[in-house]
Amino acid sequence: MAGRLQDKVAIITGGGSGMGRDTVLRFLEDGARVLVADINEDNGRETVALGKAQGHGDHVAFTRCDVAEERDVAAMVATAEATFGTLDIAYMNAGVGGAFGPIGETAVEGWDYTFAVLVRSVFLGMKHASLAIRRHDRGGALLSTASIAGMIGGAGSHAYSAAKAAVISLTENVAAELAPHRIRVNAIAPGIISTPLFHRGKPEKYEAQFTRQPWPERGDGKHIAAVAAFLCSDDARFITGETVKVDGGLLAQGLTLWGAGADNPLLRAPGVNYGSTGRR
């Protein structure tokens, strides 16, 4: 049976680790040919080896790319076209935690690095990938990894959150521009996902953060990969300009002003609060 992404050619940045690696493997399973792009060559090549070990042979290749550098991003797109003959999908997923600390002590270099890796990268990916997709004239999909930190305060550092908010804004504006060319532009806003970026090799240390969300299982790269495959497939052909939260209900839970889950008295027993009406 043909896969959901049969014969599509995709680039996935940050494909050397975490949700990027899981998405590479998922896209291959779904029939795509994938160029893995990462600044970490060892990890990127390891992802390719995993893909080949799963029987995907020459459907997967690696290119070293610093997503913050225009020359590298242009070369990455050219490599995808040269290797696989066309380009249908670009997933701008690479990222880092970036600058943190008090605003008064944040160095301009740290701020600029954060925005270069998290925002300039998405702009450059959208720019060069859209030009290539338009050259082949058969439409396509651009996807980026934003974050729930770009939707609300308190989920990341100020620089990280501001950068991810910019990704959400770019997604909307570029979607409107590219729709006439049949290029869809979407983003995923992950919640807490158990990847090396989040747990830095020690998942047990972050158990409290992992259990904040209402959904019982912790977020996994495969959850993101499944949504990425859907958003880049023709099943999502009328979805563009959208940022999809994939967070186990973390933001739906909101302020938890009265306590979360079983601690919330509003969920303990049924009743009606009649306010100041005089009715008891």
Ligand X SMILES: NC(=O)c1ccc[n+]([C@@H]2O[C@H](COP(=O)([O-])OP(=O)(O)OC[C@H]3O[C@@H](n4cnc5c(N)ncnc54)[C@H](O)[C@@H]3O)[C@@H](O)[C@H]2O)c1
Rg (CA), the chain: 20
Question: Can residue 196 be called a binding residue for ligand X (CB under 6 A)?
Answer: yes
Contact set for ligand X, span 175-194 (CB under 6 A): 190, 192-193
Partners of residue 91 on adjacent β-strands:
12, 143
Q: In the numeric block, which tokens belong to residue 247?
A: 């967070």
| 164 tagged catalytic | yes
Judge contact between 193 and 215, C-beta under 8 A.
no
Structure tokens at 209: 């953060």
Site string for ligand X, 75-114 (x = CB under 6 A): ------------------xxxx------------------
Q: Order of strands across the sheet with 9-13?
A: 60-64, 33-38, 9-13, 89-92, 140-145, 183-190, 243-246
CA dihedral (68, 13, 36, 174) positive or negative: negative
If one asks whether residue 198 binds ligand X (CB under 6 A), the answer comes out as yes
Q: How buried is 81 (Cβ within 10 angstroms: 0-12 exposed, 13-18 middle, 19+ buried)? A: middle
147 catalytic, yes or no? yes
| Shortest Å distance, C-beta 138 to ligand X | 27
Question: Cβ 261 to ligand X, closest distance in Å?
Answer: 21
Annotated active-site residue 222? The verdict is: no
| Residues contacting ligand X: total by CB under 6 A | 29
Q: Which of 144, 147, 157, 233 is catalytic?
A: 147
Interacting positions 18-47 with ligand X (CB under 6 A): 18-20, 38-40, 43
Out of 91, 121, 157, 160, pick the active-site residue: 160
Residues that bind ligand X (CB under 6 A): 13-14, 16-20, 38-40, 43, 65-68, 93-96, 117, 145, 147, 190, 192-193, 195-198
Known catalytic residues? 147, 160, 164
